[in-house]
A = this chain, B = another copy of it.
């Protein structure tokens, strides 16, 4: 069984080999290399390799599909940053800041096409199945981004709608990575589907956790300023839970707080947290996290393997992502 480190190395090595280098026109391909070199944990391709490894020892078949998914993921970040007008990504200027917006659009398009090029290097027998998963997922990610943008204009987004958006915007890709790995490992359809559902639950847990950490993480550990979502008025699991649970008066109080132009940041965060605590928002979120995590583990148990111990690496990795291990 490959360890996390070995899976990461295989992915990094393959990505390095695929770096465009001196291909012309440079204006198109330099930003592609810039984006792909920004690093990151490569969670998605690693999940694909690990899923493949549940079923077979030779991970070769999963490498190009895994890399395709990572390229696709980075393409979505590139275009999302343009649509969100973000200046920084992974501590570096975004492509439209460093170059310009047309470059961000066009190089993103090229990355999307490269993702398909890499996916198409899979074995012909599994290609239709891989492409079906990939294309379906890619479209769902676009749908999720559209809902996310729609929600910005609304003040009545429910928790259910939020989770539906998160499912599309981020969870389906994690799920697709796991299913892709399974397909590359010649898993049967039931196992592939169980891994897909495991990925969905993983993704939902992860996002709720992300939202929770923004407000409740230990400052030293988190790596980002606490309460950034509150200051940006971002509709998170916590905020939407608060709105759902609050009476009209508290809802009004919360709205006024969030929209307050002059209040110092830390004061705004404290006051919002008071309301969150009154409403038990933290516990609600933690219960939701636990619920989805249990669902994830349940789906992972549905995967039938001759040797159950093969699940250990993937289980540990999921636990690490979800900060459920020391």
Residues of A participating in the B interface, judged by any CB pair closer than 8 Å: 24-25, 27-28, 79, 82-83, 101-102, 105-106, 108-110, 112-114, 116-117, 120, 124, 127-128, 131-132, 135, 138-139, 142-143, 145-147, 149-150
Contact = CB atoms under 8 A, between A and B. Distances in A.
6 contacts: A82-B105, A109-B112, A113-B142, A116-B116, A116-B131, A124-B124
A27 B139 contact: no
Contacts of A147: 25
Nearest to A149: B102
A128 B139 contact: no
Contacts of A102: 82-83, 149
Contacts of A110: 139, 142
Given A28-B146, A113-B135, A117-B139, 12 more contacts: A24-B143, A28-B143, A82-B102, A83-B102, A83-B105, A106-B142, A106-B146, A109-B142, A110-B139, A120-B128, A120-B131, A124-B124
A172 to B, nearest CB: 13
A108 B150 CA distance: 17
